[in-house]
Amino acid sequence: MLPAPTASRRASNTRRYKFFRRLLHFKQMDFEVAAWEMLYLLIAPNRVFRNAHYQKTHKNQYARDDPAFLVLLWAFLCLSSIMCGVVFGLSFKGVMAFLIWVVLIDCVLLGAIIASGFWYISNKFLRAKNPHAVEEYVEWGYAFDVHCNAFFPVILIVHVLQIFLIQVINHDYFVSALIADTLDLIAVCYYIYITFVGYNALPFLKRTVLLLYPMVLAVGLYVVALLLGWNITRTIFEYYGLQEHK
């Protein structure tokens, strides 16, 4: 049965309330640890998810209880979105609209949808059944943590690295499509890999290697895009209404 027992749901709601309440108290947040986690997500993602075991052992939950990482991620999204808006010559109103879309839609809303999907799939199909152990479930908060962890390298690539190379990739040339699509592929594979690492870190899940399979689709799309000369990044620019401002 997928839903956790009533007592567990009440405990989860209490932890969620405390988490969001801490968003109003910056002095209680450990930004140094959050900054180190962002660095390790780029060089050693496994080290970040070791904290989940510490959380479970000492606080009886795998999800973060400190919103510092989320606050830093939102701050980074705001800065990178403003940078994108300036590069494309957007008006102040346009920059704010782009910023709000990236933070609230791309990160929060889309992230919540993706986290909910992985939360359901992992609890429904990946949990190992052990009649001699206490039954464990993937917390929705942990699923959202995994999304936030995986989202940071993606934004670093598409909002910083690609914008730094904008004069190279924002053209109809094949080499522009090659560079842009390769960076897109790296970003997607980073997201998939960190997602896999996040769920693979939970000892009660099995067959988590299945979460790596979307990489095959990503590589397939990459090959097709190159064969068609399709610059996916330019399509994304057009989707956000950036292309006409270049």
Range of the domain at 48: 6-245
Domain total of the chain: 1
pLDDT at 163 over 50: yes
186 domain residue, yes or no? yes
Structure tokens belonging to residue 207 = 């067959």
What one-character-per-residue DSSP string does the chain give? --SPPHHHHHHHHHHHHHHHHHTT-GGGS-HHHHHHHHHHHHH-HHHHHHHHHHHHHHHS-SS-S-THHHHHHHHHHHHHHHHHHHHTT--HHHHHHHHHIIIIIIIIIHHHHHHHHHHHHIIIIIBPP-TTS------HHHHHHHHHHHHHHHHIIIIIIHHHTHHHHSSSSHHHHHHHHHHHHHHHHHHHHHHHHHHHTSTTB--GGGGGTHHHHHHHHHHHHHHHT--HHHHHHHHTT-GGG-
Integer distance in angstroms from the first to the last C-alpha of the chain? 52
Q: What is the pLDDT of residues 24-60, one digit of tens each?
A: 666 778 899 999 999 999 999 999 998 777 777 777 8
Tell me, yes or no, whether 1 lies in a domain: no
Q: Please tell me which residue, 93 or 18, carries the higher pLDDT value.
A: 93
Condensed to tens digits (0 to 9), the pLDDT of residues 220-244 reads 999 999 999 999 999 999 988 886 5
Give the pTM.
0.89
pLDDT digits (tens, 9 = 90+) for 51-102: 777 777 777 888 888 889 999 999 999 999 999 999 999 999 999 999 999 9
Q: Is residue 68 part of a domain?
A: yes
- In the predicted model, is pLDDT for residue 2 greater than 70? no
